[in-house]
A and B are shown apart, each in its own frame.
Chain A
Amino acid sequence: MMTACGGGDAANAGPPGAPTLEKETSSSEAASSSGKAKLLTDADVTLGDIDNGMVEKGKTTYDVKCQACHSMGENRVVGPGWKGITTRRKPEWIMNMIVNTDAMLAEDPEAQRQLEQCLVRMPNQNLSMDEARQVLEFMRTL
C-alpha cells in the first residue's frame, strides 16, 4: 500500500508554482510570488572528510522528519531512496532541495521531473541550514 510515486490523480497535484513560503517574511507580497528564494551555489557548500558527529545528528533529523518518505536504500517510498544520492546529485542541489524546496519544485527541471513521477510535493520540513548540512553529511554515508 505504500508504493506511492505512481497512480494518484494528476489533476489534484499541488498547484504548480505554489507560493514560496519564506519563513521570516510576513508581508503580503511574500506569499504572492514563487521562486524568489535565493538558491545556494557550489560556493555555499563545501565537503571535507566525513564528520561522524554531523552524521549522527543528520540521522536523528532523518528519523523524525524525512524517514516517512525516504528510505536509506534504493527503493522509493513516497520520494526517492537515498542510497548513493550524493554520487547522483551535487551537494548544493541537495541542500536546495531541502531548504528551498518550493523554489526548486517551481524552477529546477530535475526536481520537476521527480514531482511528475511522484505526484506528491516534497514538503519543506523547515530545517535550519545547519540541520540540512548534517542530513547531507548523513547522506554521504549511504
Chain B
Amino acid sequence: MKRPLLITTGTMALAGLAFVLVNTLPGCRPTTTQTVVTGDAASKVYVKPGTHDEFYNMVSGGFSGQLAVYGLPSGRLLREVPVFSVDPETGYGYSEETKGMLMTSHGFIPWDDSHHPELSQTNGVPDGKWCFINGNNTPRIALIDLGTFRTHSIIEIPNSAGNHSSPFTTGNSEYVVAGTRFSVPMGDDAQRDVPISSYKETFKGTVSFIHPEPETGKMSIAFQIVTPAVDFDLSHAGKGPSEGWFFFSCYNTEQAYSLLEVNASQRDKDFIMAVNWKMAEQLAKEGKGKRVPGKHYSNWWNDKTHSSETTVIDDVLQLDPKEHPGLLYFMPCPKSPHGCDVDPTGKYIVGSGKLAALIPVFSFEKMQKAIAGNEVEGDFAGIPVLKYESVLHGEVKKPGLGPLHTEFDANGNAYTSFFVSSEIVKWNVEKLEVVDRVPTYYSIGHLCVPGGDSKQPWGKYVIAYNKITKDRYLPTGPELTQSAQLYSIDGDKMELLLDFPTTGEPHYAQAIPADLVKPREVKFFKIEENQHPYVAKGEKEARVERNGNEVHVWMTSIRSHFAPDNIEGVKLGDEVYFHVTNLEQDWDVPHGFAIKGAANAELLIMPGETQTLKWVPTRVGVWPMYCTDFCSALHQEMQGYVRVSPANSTVPLKGETVSVDAGV
C-alpha cells in the first residue's frame, strides 16, 4: 500500500529515507540505477525466446485478492490465478460452477485481499504440489493446485477478523495456520454486542490449525486456540529441533482499540507467541477441546464435475490455553514485530520489530531451558511470559531501520527487508554480523529467497517486493504499477539484476524450481472423465430442453463451431443456461462463449471441460452468440443465433446445427 510515511527531521539524515521525498528533494537521491547495475546483469536475466525460466515465483496480488505467477529470472508474468476475487479473464466467480468458490457465511464475496502465498512442504521442503494463500478481509485460506494453477479449495475461518498471520505450513503440510489480526468479541449475539472500550475484558484472538487432506486438498479446521486480545502479524512453523512448535509475532500488546498507530506503539516490547502444536493436536485428539459456534463455509473444486462443492459447518473445536499449561508461551520481542522467521536449521527464530533498530534472534534451545527452569518475568492475560534474556540468542545491532521480514540461504545467512531505510541487509545468523546491504527502490515490504523459509533454501536470488514505485517506470496517471526487484545472491555482494512490474500489490511471494512443478501440469481434462451433470460428450448429445421457465442448452464447441448454433423457442421470462463442453482434447485450445446482453459475463472453457453461463433475455429478437477465444483460422465463423419470442409464443423449442452439404 502506498501509504505516506511519517518523517521527522531526525530521520531525514538517514540515507535511504530521502528518496521517499524524491520529487521535492532531488539532492537526496540515493545511488542511481546506473551505478548499481553492473554490465552483465542483462545476460543473467535473459531467458532466450522459446526457453523456460528456472523458477516459478508465486506472488500475492495484495488488494487484488489474486495470486500472480512469474518466471524467474526473467520476471515475465505467466498467469494470474483468481483466488478471492472474480476474474473476467477466466469467468471465475461468474460461471455458475465457480460462483460457489466465493461463497461465505456472509454470502457471495466478489473481492478480497490476499497476502501470503505459502508452498506446501514435504519434509520441510517445498514440494510443488500446492500453494496456499490467505484472504484477509473475510478470513479464508485457499489452496491452489499447482497441477492446474487453479484455486482448488477455500475454507472460511470462523471467530477470526483480519486473517493476516496466515497461511504458514508445518513441515509436511499437516496443518496450515490462520491467525487473527483483529481481536474481536466472540460467542452468541449478546456476547458479541459489547462496547469497543471493553476490549481488554471481552475481546479475544484465535489461531486456527487447518488440515488439508493429502489426496483431495479438501480443508477442515482441526482445532482453534483462543488467545489473549492482541494483533497477530506473521508466523512460522518450527523445523528440525523446533519441529512441533509454531511461532506467531504479535503487536498491540498495549491492547489499544483506537489510534493504534500511536496507542499500540507504546511498549518497548511486544511478543512472539510460541505454540506447542503437537500438544494441541494431542489435546484435540483426546477430546479436551470444546465445540463452540463458528459457522463457516468450506468450498472445494471438483475436477471431475468441473463444479464447486460447498459444505457449511456450524461449529469449531476450540482449545483454551488457560486450561492447558504448556500450550502457549510469550517471548518478549522489541517493538511491534512483523516477520517471525525460523532459520533452516530450526535452531533460531528471528523477530523483525518494524519500529525497532535491532533484530532479536531467539534460540529454541534456550526457550526450552527457560520453560524447564520456569524463567518467567510474569504473565500476560494468564499466559506465561518468558524472560527476554533467557530466550535470546543475540541481537543484530544497528542493521537498518524498520526490519520487516527475513528469509535465509543455505549458507547460514539471513536476508532482512527494511521498509524505512529501504534496503535488504544480509547478515550471518550464528555471528549476528551484518555482511552486506543493498538499496531497494522503494520501501521494500516482504522479500523472498527461493525456498527461503524452508529447511533447504535453493538460494541464488533474493527478490524485493516494494511498496512504492514512484519514478521507476513510465508513469500511468495517479496509479502506478507496483514492482519487484531481483538481486543475485550468488556472490559475496548482492547484485541488482532486474526490476519487474507486478499486478496488484506484490505483498509476499515464494519461489520454487520449475522442475518440481512442470511434471505435474495438467494439459487438458479428459472428456471421458467429465462428470458434469450437463456434459455433452460429442455433438450427438448436444440438445435443448425446457424445464418450466428454465431452458438448458447442452452445447459443444470445437474448432470452429458450436452445436447447436441455431436455437429457437426461447421466450421472455426464461432463464437460459448454456452448458458448454469443449470437445477438444489437446493442450492450449480453449474456447470462449459470449451472448449479447449477458448481464453476467462470458465463459472460457478449457479442453474437456464444461462451464455454464446463465442468460436471462430481456427483449424479443434474434441474439448473436460467438466464441471469444481465438481458436482457429475460422474462429471468426464460430458463431450462432438464439431467437427469443414473446412470453406467450408457441414457437417450438429446438436447437440445431445445419450443414449445407449434410449428406449423411
Name A residues whose Cβ lies closer than 8 Å to a Cβ of B.
1-4, 7-10, 12-14, 21, 23, 26, 28, 31-32, 63-65, 67-69, 71-78, 81, 83, 119-121, 123-127
- Decide if A14 touches B556 in the complex (CB within 8 Å): no
Total A-B pairs in contact (CB under 8 Å)?
124
- Decide if B518 touches A26 in the complex (CB within 8 Å): yes
Cα distance A3–B637 when bound, in Å?
11
Distance in Å: Cβ of A82 to nearest Cβ of chain B: 10
Residue B662 at the A interface, CB < 8 A?
yes
Cα distance A127–B585 when bound, in Å?
9
Cα distance A74–B662 when bound, in Å?
10
- Residues from chain A with a CB closer than 8 A to the CB of B586 are 21, 123-126
User: What would be 26 A-B contacts, judged by CB atoms less than 8 Å apart?
Assistant: A1-B637, A1-B659, A2-B660, A4-B560, A4-B634, A7-B634, A8-B636, A9-B636, A10-B633, A13-B632, A14-B633, A65-B538, A67-B540, A68-B561, A68-B583, A69-B559, A72-B664, A75-B659, A75-B663, A76-B661, A78-B558, A119-B632, A119-B633, A119-B634, A124-B585, A127-B585
Cα distance A62–B3 when bound, in Å?
60
- Residues from chain A with a CB closer than 8 A to the CB of B583 are 64-65, 68
- Decide if B633 touches A13 in the complex (CB within 8 Å): yes
Distance in Å: Cβ of A84 to nearest Cβ of chain B: 12
Cα distance A26–B560 when bound, in Å?
29
Cα distance A124–B586 when bound, in Å?
6
- Decide if A120 touches B634 in the complex (CB within 8 Å): yes
- Decide if A121 touches B52 in the complex (CB within 8 Å): no
Name the residue in A9, A119, A123 with the highest tally of chain B Cβ atoms < 10 Å from its Cβ: A123
Chain A contact residues, majority secondary structure: loop
Cα distance A123–B563 when bound, in Å?
18
Nearest CB to that of B657 among chain A residues?
Answer: A2
Cα distance A126–B240 when bound, in Å?
45
Distance in Å: Cβ of A97 to nearest Cβ of chain B: 14
Cα distance A10–B632 when bound, in Å?
10
- Decide if A123 touches B633 in the complex (CB within 8 Å): no
Q: Mark B468-482, 1 if CB is under 8 A from A, else 0.
A: 000000000000000
Distance in Å: Cβ of B290 to nearest Cβ of chain A: 49
- Decide if B565 touches A1 in the complex (CB within 8 Å): yes
Distance in Å: Cβ of A79 to nearest Cβ of chain B: 10
Cα distance A46–B561 when bound, in Å?
35
Determine, out of B186-194, B521-529, B620-628, the stretch whose residues face the partner at the interface. Answer: B521-529
Residue B539 at the A interface, CB < 8 A?
yes
Cα distance A125–B538 when bound, in Å?
13
- Residues from chain A with a CB closer than 8 A to the CB of B518 are 26
- Decide if A73 touches B559 in the complex (CB within 8 Å): no
Residue B51 at the A interface, CB < 8 A?
yes
- Decide if A81 touches B565 in the complex (CB within 8 Å): no
- Decide if B633 touches A120 in the complex (CB within 8 Å): yes
Cα distance A70–B545 when bound, in Å?
26
* B:517-544 near A, CB below 8 Å: 518-519, 521, 523-524, 527-528, 537-540
Residue B423 at the A interface, CB < 8 A?
no
Contacting residue for B524 out of A9, A69, A126, CB 8 A: A126
Distance in Å: Cβ of A44 to nearest Cβ of chain B: 22
Cβ-closest 3 pairs across A and B? A73-B664, A2-B659, A28-B52
Given A32-B50, A68-B538 in contact, is the A125-B584 Cβ separation under 8 Å?
yes
Nearest CB to that of B560 among chain A residues?
Answer: A120
Given contacts A3-B659, A71-B662, 10 further A-B contacts (CB under 8 A): A4-B560, A4-B637, A13-B632, A63-B540, A64-B538, A68-B556, A75-B662, A77-B659, A123-B584, A126-B524
Cα distance A121–B524 when bound, in Å?
18
Nearest CB to that of B664 among chain A residues?
Answer: A73
Distance in Å: Cβ of A129 to nearest Cβ of chain B: 15
Residue B46 at the A interface, CB < 8 A?
no
Given A2-B658, A78-B560 in contact, is the A28-B51 Cβ separation under 8 Å?
yes
- Decide if A75 touches B51 in the complex (CB within 8 Å): no
Name the residue in B556, B561, B563, B634 with the highest tally of chain A Cβ atoms < 10 Å from its Cβ: B634
Residue B587 at the A interface, CB < 8 A?
yes
Cα distance A23–B526 when bound, in Å?
13
Distance in Å: Cβ of B78 to nearest Cβ of chain A: 13
- Residues from chain B with a CB closer than 8 A to the CB of A71 are 662-664
Contacting residue for A67 out of B50, B538, B559, B634, CB 8 A: B538
Contacting residue for B663 out of A14, A32, A74, A127, CB 8 A: A74
Cα distance A83–B527 when bound, in Å?
26
Distance in Å: Cβ of B631 to nearest Cβ of chain A: 9
- Residues from chain B with a CB closer than 8 A to the CB of A74 are 663-664
- Decide if B539 touches A67 in the complex (CB within 8 Å): yes
Contacting residue for B558 out of A1, A12, A28, A68, CB 8 A: A68
- Decide if B634 touches A8 in the complex (CB within 8 Å): yes
Distance in Å: Cβ of B483 to nearest Cβ of chain A: 27
Cα distance A64–B530 when bound, in Å?
12
- Residues from chain B with a CB closer than 8 A to the CB of A63 are 537-538, 540
- Decide if A120 touches B663 in the complex (CB within 8 Å): no
Cα distance A124–B527 when bound, in Å?
14
Nearest CB to that of A81 among chain B residues?
Answer: B664
Nearest CB to that of B660 among chain A residues?
Answer: A3
Distance in Å: Cβ of B473 to nearest Cβ of chain A: 29
Distance in Å: Cβ of B526 to nearest Cβ of chain A: 8
- Decide if B633 touches A9 in the complex (CB within 8 Å): yes
Nearest CB to that of A9 among chain B residues?
Answer: B633
Cα distance A26–B147 when bound, in Å?
13
Cα distance A14–B50 when bound, in Å?
17
Distance in Å: Cβ of A96 to nearest Cβ of chain B: 16
- Residues from chain A with a CB closer than 8 A to the CB of B52 are 28
Distance in Å: Cβ of B46 to nearest Cβ of chain A: 14
Given A1-B658, A7-B637, A8-B634 in contact, is the A21-B523 Cβ separation under 8 Å?
yes
Residue B589 at the A interface, CB < 8 A?
yes
Cα distance A7–B637 when bound, in Å?
10
Residue B200 at the A interface, CB < 8 A?
no
Cα distance A23–B519 when bound, in Å?
11
Distance in Å: Cβ of A12 to nearest Cβ of chain B: 5
Cα distance A2–B523 when bound, in Å?
29
